[in-house]
Amino acid sequence: MKYNIKDEKIVFNDHYKMVKATVSYDTFNGAQINTKRLAFERGNSVAILLIEKETQSVLLTNQFRYPSCKNNDGWLLEIPAGSLEENENPEDCIKREVMEELGYQLPTSKLIHTFYTSPGGSTERIYLFYAEISKENKTEKGGGNSEENEDIELVKIPISEIVSAIPKIKDAKTILALQWYLLHFKKL
């Protein structure tokens, strides 16, 4: 099956971009659809599920999120995450984000999956990592990047409380990562 993108143009360009295009694509019954579509170009991101070995805890961030205020959820618990810079390697980006947000030096990490956050409207793809770290890896304060007006709190949730914590979490990448952990490491 084939598709064709034409007349692609930027219709909004601020911190993020909105692109509008004329697209045509094959249907499953052999016909073709011609239509206009919008795409929110947010860029790609990284995220990581961190387990602190000594405390047997998941390390999460608690931070203000303006878009979630629309549903009366100003602060969200999330796994550490951030946006990839242009031409940045995902592994380098996740190390930078973990240091900025939590103050931990990340020695190694494992890529466990890549996925789209909302493919019906956004181009964003997340590189999801997993790592186990030690208390000794905490070498800086963390708390976010002050130049980006971030104010991030470190929250530790014991592994034994993951199942009861999931219903309170409203961030999809965090729910996905915690469920991945339960499937691969935790006996229910």
Positions at the binding site = 81, 97, 101, 150
Instruction: Please name the helix (run of DSSP H) or strand (run of DSSP E) that holds residue 172, with its range, or none.
Output: helix 172-184
**Count of CB atoms within 10 A of residue 58's CB?**
23
Sequence-distant (6+) residues with CB within 8 A of 23 are 3, 4, 5, 6, 34, 35, 36, 37
Sequence-distant (6+) residues with CB within 8 A of 103 are 138, 139, 140, 141, 142, 143, 154
Strand partners of residue 59 = 50, 156
Residue 64 to residue 67: CA distance in whole angstroms: 9
Q: Which residues are annotated as a binding site for Mg(2+)?
A: 81, 97, 101, 150
